[in-house]
């Protein structure tokens, strides 16, 4: 039966949702509570301050919505912009496409900069648009930090430098769903106006929290934005922040306790150590792919992602068969190729609460799958390349921040 997976525990290596640590599962295993009691506001106050740390901001205002990354996208757009506002948005993969679709359906004037899939954002095209926009008709730049469909990571600081160079006041709105808490993210230093993430990615929580952080400039923009919004309205949250109850409607109590436990794990390891761990795992995966004689979908070293690797397969192989065989025979979950790269790539997610041995187990499974479907692989080549690298790079020692 096609829908049955193999026996044993599932080995989850999609680029989100990711594995949930035991301590987070235990923290969420609790009954409902009255969110108007003193306990939940007290916890929320500390949570909001700690959430600012994962964005690396001291000036930003965080909002925690019971939603997904898609809801967080909508919150970022509708609170800062008005219908008809001109947005420059980069199309580099499936998730940037989905955000662009949302922008159009919300009636913004979307100026799309296209890149071939596997390439990063075309900053030369952005520079040309900024140089020509002396009337400052562009109100926002929307960019996906890490495109999980192709394994491409964009340089956000370069976007800020371009805006500063042309003295352009446009807001920078960033999808950090598969980057924040795994890749270095510096909201204040890079001048990001709105950043967002989802709980099911590097935070290693279940799906259900969309976390948004807004700069003072974005908060000011929300005062004049004419987009319709109710559920995602920052102003409702700000009113409840001011009176100290924090929630304009019922929060997900269990997920808040899970978020507390997830943040504690990240801070115990140390954010810089977390980023270093993801760099090691990303590099090890790419070395394995190279040892197999396969190519990374990402076309330049400067864009490689440390949270997901999109592996290109030869033309005679359907990458969907790799994913199907992984799940059916080995209980290993890999990511499908999406849209323009469907059938051409499979994706290995290496983000969240993950260690060296878990990754090596995944890579061993991929080798068996490739052998199963007729790819001429020598067992152990990719695992050896990854293990050798991991063995010879010393992980940073965890320390509290």
- The neighbour count for residue 119, using CB atoms within 10 Å, is 18
Give tens-digit pLDDT for 19-35: 999 999 999 999 999 99
pTM of structure? 0.96
Query: Average pLDDT of 237-247?
Result: 97
Residue 383: predicted pLDDT: 98
Q: Which residue ranges are tagged as binding site?
A: 347
Nearby residues of 223 by Cβ (< 8 Å), 6 or more positions away: none
**pLDDT grade for 3, boundaries at 50, 70 and 90:** low
pLDDT at 321 over 90: yes
- Partnered with residue 87 across adjacent β-strands are 110, 140
Residue 2: predicted pLDDT: 59
Residue spans of the domains in the chain: they are 11-19+271-392, 22-267
pLDDT at 4 over 80: no
pLDDT at 394 over 90: no
pLDDT at 203 over 80: yes
Tell the residue number behind the tokens 């979307």, with chain if given.
Answer: 110
Strand residues in 101-228 grouped as ranges (E): 109-114, 138-144, 146-147, 152-153, 171-175, 194-198, 210-214
Residue 395: predicted pLDDT: 73
Residue 1: predicted pLDDT: 46
Is domain 11-19+271-392 annotated with CATH 3.90.1150.10? yes
**pLDDT grade for 155, boundaries at 50, 70 and 90:** very high
In the numeric block, which tokens belong to residue 387? 């293990």
**pLDDT grade for 396, boundaries at 50, 70 and 90:** low
pLDDT at 363 over 70: yes
Nearby residues of 371 by Cβ (< 8 Å), 6 or more positions away: 377, 379
Alpha-carbon span 53 to 237, nearest angstrom:
20
Strand residues in 145-209 grouped as ranges (E): 146-147, 152-153, 171-175, 194-198
- At the second CATH level, the architecture of 22-267 is 3-Layer(aba) Sandwich (3.40)
Residue of 177, 155, 401 lying closest to 272 (CA atoms): 401
Query: Average pLDDT of 176-187?
Result: 98
CB 193 within 8 A of CB 199: no
**pLDDT grade for 254, boundaries at 50, 70 and 90:** very high
Q: Which residue ranges are tagged as binding site for substrate?
A: 347
Query: Average pLDDT of 276-301?
Result: 98
CB 59 within 8 A of CB 188: yes
């Amino acid at each position: 039966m096609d829908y049955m997976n193999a026996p044993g525990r599932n080995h989850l290596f999609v680029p989100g949702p990711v594995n949930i640590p035991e301590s987070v599962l235990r923290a969420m295993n609790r009954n409902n509570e009255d969110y108007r009691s003193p306990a939940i506001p007290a916890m929320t106050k500390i949570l909001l301050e700690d959430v600012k740390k994962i964005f690396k901001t001291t000036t930003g205002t965080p909002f925690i919505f019971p939603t997904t990354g898609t809801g967080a996208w909508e919150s970022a757009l509708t609170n800062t912009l008005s219908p008809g506002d001109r947005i420059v948005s980069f199309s580099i993969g499936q998730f940037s496409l989905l955000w662009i679709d949302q922008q159009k359906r919300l009636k913004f004037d979307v100026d799309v900069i296209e890149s071939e899939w596997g390439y990063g954002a075309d900053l030369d095209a952005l520079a040309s648009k900024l140089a020509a926009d002396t009337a400052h008709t562009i109100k926002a730049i929307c960019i996906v930090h890490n495109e999980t469909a192709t394994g491409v990571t964009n340089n956000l600081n370069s976007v800020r430098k371009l805006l500063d160079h042309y003295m352009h006041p446009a807001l920078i709105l960033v999808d950090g769903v598969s980057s924040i808490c795994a890749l270095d993210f510096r909201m204040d230093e890079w001048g990001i106006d709105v950043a967002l993430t989802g709980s099911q990615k590097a935070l290693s929580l279940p799906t259900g929290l969309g976390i948004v952080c807004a700069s003072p400039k974005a908060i000011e923009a929300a005062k004049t934005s004419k987009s319709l919004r109710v559920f995602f309205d920052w102003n409702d949250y700000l009113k409840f922040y001011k009176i100290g109850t924090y929630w304009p409607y019922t929060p997900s109590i269990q997920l808040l306790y899970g978020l507390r436990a997830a943040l504690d794990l990240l801070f115990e390891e140390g954010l810089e150590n977390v980023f270093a761990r993801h760099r090691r795992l990303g590099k090890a995966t790419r070395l394995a792919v190279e040892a197999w004689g396969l190519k990374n979908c990402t076309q330049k070293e400067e864009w490689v992602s440390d949270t997901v690797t999109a592996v290109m397969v030869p033309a005679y192989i359907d990458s969907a068969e790799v994913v199907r065989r992984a799940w059916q025979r080995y209980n290993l979950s890999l990511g499908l190729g999406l849209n323009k790269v469907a059938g051409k790539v499979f994706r290995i997610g290496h983000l969240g609460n993950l260690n060296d041995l878990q990754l090596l187990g995944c890579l061993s499974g991929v080798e068996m799958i490739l052998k199963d479907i007729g790819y001429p692989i020598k067992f152990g080549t990719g695992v050896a390349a990854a293990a050798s690298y991991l063995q010879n790079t010393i992980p940073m020692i965890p320390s509290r921040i």
